Amino acid sequence: MLNAVTLELPDPHHPHVREIVAQERLSQILSELGVAAQKLDDLIAGLSSTIGRRPEVFAREPLTGWSRAIVKAFPPEIPWMRIWFTYDDDHVYIEHIEHLEE
C-alpha cells in the first residue's frame, strides 16, 4: 500500500495508530462490568496499542460488519469481555462491550 502523500511504503516499525473513539459512557460501562477504576486507563491504552494498530486482524461478524476482540481476564481488576468495534482509516469506534463468563 502506498502512502497517499509521498509515494513511499509505510514504515512497518512505526505503524499508523488509529484513534479509539469511545462511547461517551465507556468508562461507566467498563466500571459496571467490573473493571477496577485504576485499570480503566490501562485497558483503553491496551486497546489503542492492539486494535488501534491492526484492527483488520480481528474477526469480523458478517451480518453487522463489526469486528470483535476478546479481553483476557486479569482478576479481580479486569473481567473477561468481548469488545465489538468498527474502524476506518483514522479511527476505531467502540460499538458494544459485553461481559463473558470464564
**Per-residue pLDDT at 27:** 80
Instruction: Tell me the pLDDT tens digit for each residue of 26-55.
Output: 888 888 888 887 887 788 888 888 898 889
**Per-residue pLDDT at 2:** 38
Instruction: Tell me the pLDDT tens digit for each residue of 46-100.
Output: 888 889 888 999 999 999 999 999 988 887 788 889 999 999 989 999 888 898 8
> How many domains would you assign to the chain?
1
- pLDDT bin (cut points 50, 70, 90) of residue 7 is low
Query: Which residues form the domain of 53?
Result: 19-99
In a domain, residue 8? The reply is no
In a domain, residue 36? The reply is yes
In a domain, residue 4? The reply is no
Handedness of CA 30, 58, 56, 50 (dihedral sign): positive
DSSP string covering 28-95, please? HHHHHTT--GGGHHHHHHHHHHHTTT-GGGS-B-TTT--EEEEEPPBTTTB--EEEEEEE-SSEEEEE
In a domain, residue 92? The reply is yes
**Per-residue pLDDT at 66:** 95
In a domain, residue 14? The reply is no
Q: C-alpha cell of 92?
A: 476505531
In a domain, residue 32? The reply is yes
Please report, for the domain that includes residue 76, its CATH number: 3.30.2310
**pTM (2 decimals)?**
0.75
In a domain, residue 82? The reply is yes
**Per-residue pLDDT at 3:** 37
**Per-residue pLDDT at 14:** 54
In a domain, residue 5? The reply is no
